[in-house]
Amino acid sequence: MIKVRINDETISAKLKFRIRLDFRAEEKSGRFFFGGKTSEAMAEAAREQQMGLLKHVPLQGISFDDFDAGMDIYLVKEEVHRRRQEVAYAPLLITFKADHVEDVFPLLFRPEFKKIEVLGPENISLERLELERLLYSFSKNFQQEIGKIEL
């Protein structure tokens, strides 16, 4: 919880965010002429699967308010292994509340992360100990992500 000051009154409140995750998918060819899936269908399936995981697997300090999968899937031409192919991205907007800023890091370090918007409170002030905890948590999470990449 953070402390929010409204006029002369101080109350405890949660931080409110909206983030955008774009799930990437490539076309999957089937055996022979059957069973292939388009990149759009694969991206839609990835978005639905990840949305289900986020809804049902709790993250410490985070409570999800809304999942918006209404944005259109878009295609991008990318060069993969010296050949150009269309890759589909399925955006997902997630609105949630967090107890602390560092509780948001697991979502920010995801490869699908594209954008974050702070919905509330309007102003935030950090005390020295809170800033130290935030920087320590950021460093620890960053090192863990770098360790995953090196493996």
Count CA atoms closer than 13 A to 130's CA, side-chain side.
Answer: 11
Residues whose CB falls within 8 Å of the CB of residue 103, separated by 6 or more in sequence, listed in order: 59, 60, 61, 62
Distance between CA atoms of residues 146 and 67, nearest Å: 29
Residue with tokens 């995750």: 21
DSSP 17-70: EEEEEEEEEE-B--STTSS-B-HHHHHHHHHHHHHHHHHHS--TTEEEEEEE--
> What is the pTM (predicted TM-score) of this model?
0.84
Residue 35 has pLDDT above 90, yes or no: no
Residue 50 has pLDDT above 90, yes or no: yes
Burial class (CB in 10 A: 0-12, 13-18, 19+), 101: buried
- Express each pLDDT in 60-116 by its tens digit: 999 999 999 999 999 999 887 778 888 999 999 999 999 988 899 999 999 999 999
More confident residue, 11 or 79: 79
Residue 51 has pLDDT above 70, yes or no: yes
pLDDT score, position 4: 64
Cα–Cα distances in Å, from 33 out to 28, 30, 37, 74?
12, 6, 11, 25
Residue 136 has pLDDT above 80, yes or no: yes
Residue 127 has pLDDT above 80, yes or no: yes
More confident residue, 74 or 28: 74
Where do the domains of the chain lie? 2-150
